[in-house]
Amino acid sequence: MNGDWLIRGRDGRLTVYLPSGEAVLCRAERGPGGPWEDVPRTVGGSQKLHPGGAVGQGTDRYAHLAAWRPTVRGESGLVHTTHFRPRLAPLDWVPIGHPDKQGERTGPPAVAVDGPGRGYVFVRNGAGRVSLRNQKVRGGWGGWHDLGGEDVGEQLAPVAAESGRIELYASAPGAILHWVQEGDGKKPVPAETLEVAVRPGTLRALATSAEHTTVFFTDESGDLCAWRPGEKPVSLLAAAGPGPVRAVRCVIEGHDCTVLAQRSSSGRVAFAAYPTEQEPAGAWWTESGPQLPSDALVALALDEHGEVVAATFSPSTGTLRLARRKDEPGLALTAWREL
Is residue 226, in this structure, part of any structural domain at all? no
What is the share, in percent, of the chain residues with pLDDT greater than 70? 100
Q: φ and ψ at 270, to 5 degrees? A: -105, 140
Q: Identify any residues that bridge with 205 across adjacent strands, giving them in sequence order.
A: 215
Q: Is 234 exposed, middle or buried (0-12, 13-18, 19+ CB in 10 A)?
A: middle
Instruction: Dump pLDDT digits (tens) for 1-17.
Output: 899 999 999 999 999 99
Q: Considering 76, 95, 114, which residue would you say is the last residue of a domain?
A: 95
So what's the pLDDT on residue 6? Answer: 98
pTM of the shown model: 0.96
Instruction: Dump pLDDT digits (tens) for 203-254.
Output: 999 999 999 999 999 999 999 999 999 999 999 999 999 988 999 999 999 9
Is residue 234, in this structure, part of any structural domain at all? no
Separation between Cα atoms, residue 135 and residue 195, nearest integer Å: 32
Separation between Cα atoms, residue 8 and residue 122, nearest integer Å: 23
Is residue 13, in this structure, part of any structural domain at all? yes
Domain residue limits at 7: 1-95
Separation between Cα atoms, residue 159 and residue 181, nearest integer Å: 11
Instruction: Dump pLDDT digits (tens) for 127-174.
Output: 999 999 999 988 899 999 999 999 999 999 999 999 999 999 999 999
Instruction: Dump pLDDT digits (tens) for 247-303.
Output: 999 999 999 999 999 999 999 999 999 999 999 999 999 999 999 999 999 999 999
Number of domains forming the structure of the chain: 2
So what's the pLDDT on residue 147? Answer: 98
Q: Considering 40, 70, 95, which residue would you say is the last residue of a domain?
A: 95
* Residue count of the chain: 339
List the helix and strand counts (H, then E) for the chain.
0, 30
Cα three-residue angle 19-22-28, rounded to 5 degrees: 40
Q: Considering 95, 112, 145, which residue would you say is the last residue of a domain?
A: 95
Averaged confidence pLDDT in the chain: 95
Is residue 147, in this structure, part of any structural domain at all? no
So what's the pLDDT on residue 330? Answer: 80
So what's the pLDDT on residue 131? Answer: 98
Separation between Cα atoms, residue 28 and residue 40, nearest integer Å: 8
Is residue 126, in this structure, part of any structural domain at all? no
So what's the pLDDT on residue 331? Answer: 87
Separation between Cα atoms, residue 31 and residue 77, nearest integer Å: 36
